[in-house]
Amino acid sequence: MIQKIFRMKVWLVASVLVLALGVGTVAAQDLSGQLEIFSWWAGDEGPALEALIGLYTTANPGVEVINATVTGGSGVNARAVLKTRMLGGTPPDTFQVHAGEELTGTWVAAERMEDMTALFTEQGWLEAFPADLIAALTVDGAIYSVPVNIHRSNVMWSNPAKLTEWGITAPATWDEFLAACPTIQAAGVTPLVVGEAWTVNHLWESVAVGVLGAEGWNGIWTGATDPSGAELTAVWDKFGEILACSNVGSDSAGLSWQQAIDQVVAGTAAFNIMGDWAAGYMTTTLGLTPGEGFGYSPSPDTAGTFIWLSDSFGLPVGAPNRDNTVAWLSLLGSVEGQNAFNPLKGSIPARADAVAAAPDLYNTYLQSASEDWASNTLVGSLAHGAAANERFVGDFGTIMEIYLASSSSAAAASAMAAVCSTSGACG
Ligand code: GAL
């Protein structure tokens, strides 16, 4: 009798298992048609996305993936194409969008995104992703995209062998940098290399957080920091001093972020401030080892503060291949998906449990970023969509042009106050 019950139990457990596995497998293989993934991860930026697509096509061999990329760092070109498609009623199945205002203030506000809360609940993601990050994807209690990573904006990159040769170290403060500037210039080297327009804005946010501190920076977006007050004027003053030790005004406009990094690697420039996709480029594309082939430190005056941004993907209303997209988003948010993507990308997983699941995949830079993400004060990036709405981000380019043309901190600060009030981004 006991044996009979035992045999029945085994049979029952086995049947449930077969059923469960069977449903999963059949469902995955059942998917067919296409999946169009829209992003700006082309060329050198592509390997991490391609790894993820590889996992997807193995699990879903019936789906033809269209990897639709529009090249151009920080999505400057991709976002314009995306807007035309979204407004024209031909959305891709899924697209890259920064967590925070870029998602919520643009596409969610326009009611163009599907609510993904049920997927978060079903996949156990409410526990897996940090609450603050989920908050940046949420409007009125509904969650609108799946984050694949966390990037850090405020990193200073250098070449350790060259620094030794020039007898300098990576500066902890901008004053230290300015003091070292003549020595570096005397060696025939650009102290700070900057690239095309958006990378100038990228540098500015590191300088601003350095001068204002995390609280002062956050205050811009809550209305507590006056955009045309003395604190912001001090930011522009410092920024001007720093630009005088850079290539802005000579060859910066023609350089992509990769070409700026190339100058640091070659030793024709000493430092560059860029997000840690630069670590992805230097490890994955250039094959360099963190700490040896390249050095990294928080951008000056920002130790202990992590300027964050997160790449995410959502499901636009009217996506032609909805089921295929849900399968894509499920993979994106899984430990397996995040661990295929992030070690190549130079970012850390958005999931709190992924690094610990496979620590060997993460190099020393990424381990340190992961520790800083867990322990630093976190502030959102302006240049990469976390902190302010699209209107402000777009018009910030004009503020920068005003500053570069006039070198007037007062003019830039008053332009910023005007943009704050037209965009409604500043509290
Ligand atoms: C950021 C994006 C990163 C990286 C970078 C350079 O906006 O979040 O993943 O692609 O641009 O293009």
Average pLDDT, the chain: 94
Clarify whether residues 345 and 418 are in a common domain.
no
Beta strands 94-98 and 63-69, pairing class: unpaired
> Is the minimum distance from the CB of 384 to ligand 1 under 6 angstroms?
yes
> How sure is the predictor about 10, in pLDDT bands with cuts at 50, 70 and 90?
very low
Residue 239: CB atoms within 10 Å: 23
**What range defines the domain where residue 254 resides?**
152-307+381-423
At 26, the pLDDT band (50, 70, 90 cuts) reads very low
pLDDT given at position 159: 98
Helix segments in 160-196, DSSP class H:
160-166, 174-186
List, for residues 342-399, the tens digit of each pLDDT value: 999 999 999 999 999 999 999 999 999 999 999 999 999 999 999 999 999 999 999 9
Q: Return the residue whose CA atom lies nearest to atom 8 of ligand 1.
A: 311
d(CA 171, CA 180): 8
Residues 102, 61 share a domain: yes
Please tell me if the CB atom of residue 151 comes closer than 6 angstroms to any atom of ligand 1: yes
**CATH number, residue 73:** 3.40.190.10
SS3 407: coil
Closest ligand 1 atom to Cα of 384: 7
Residue 11 has pLDDT above 70, yes or no: no
276 lines ligand 1 (CB under 6 A): no
Question: For residue 21, is pLDDT > 90?
Answer: no
Q: DSSP letters of 263-312?
A: HHHHTSEEEEEE-THHHHIIIIIT-PPBTTTBEEEEPTT-TTEEEEE-EE
* Domain match, 157 and 242 both: yes
Q: Are residues 97 and 86 in the same domain?
A: yes
Question: Which pLDDT score is estimated for 24?
Answer: 34
> Atom of ligand 1 at shortest distance to CA of 345?
9
Residues 188 and 270 occupy one common structural domain: yes
- Say what the pTM is: 0.93
Q: In this structure, are 263 and 226 located in the same domain? A: yes
pLDDT above 80 (res 6): no
If asked whether residues 135 and 44 sit together in one domain, one would say yes
Whether 85 and 214 map to the same domain: the answer is no
Instruction: Of 336, 321, 341, 312, give the one whose Cα is nearest residue 63.
Output: 321
Using CA atoms, how far apart are residues 418 and 309, in angstroms rounded to an integer?
25
Same domain for 230 and 197?
yes
Task: Provide the number of structural domains found in the chain.
Answer: 2
pLDDT above 90 coverage of the chain, percent: 93
61 and 103 together in one domain: yes
My answer on whether 298 and 322 are in the same domain is: no
Distance CA 163, CA 271 (A): 10
Instruction: Give 38-76 pLDDT, tens digit per residue.
Output: 999 999 999 999 999 999 999 999 999 999 999 999 999
Same domain, yes or no: 45 and 108: yes
pLDDT digits (tens, 9 = 90+) for 202-233: 999 999 999 999 999 999 999 999 999 999 99
Q: Is 102 in the pocket of ligand 1 (CB under 6 A)?
A: no
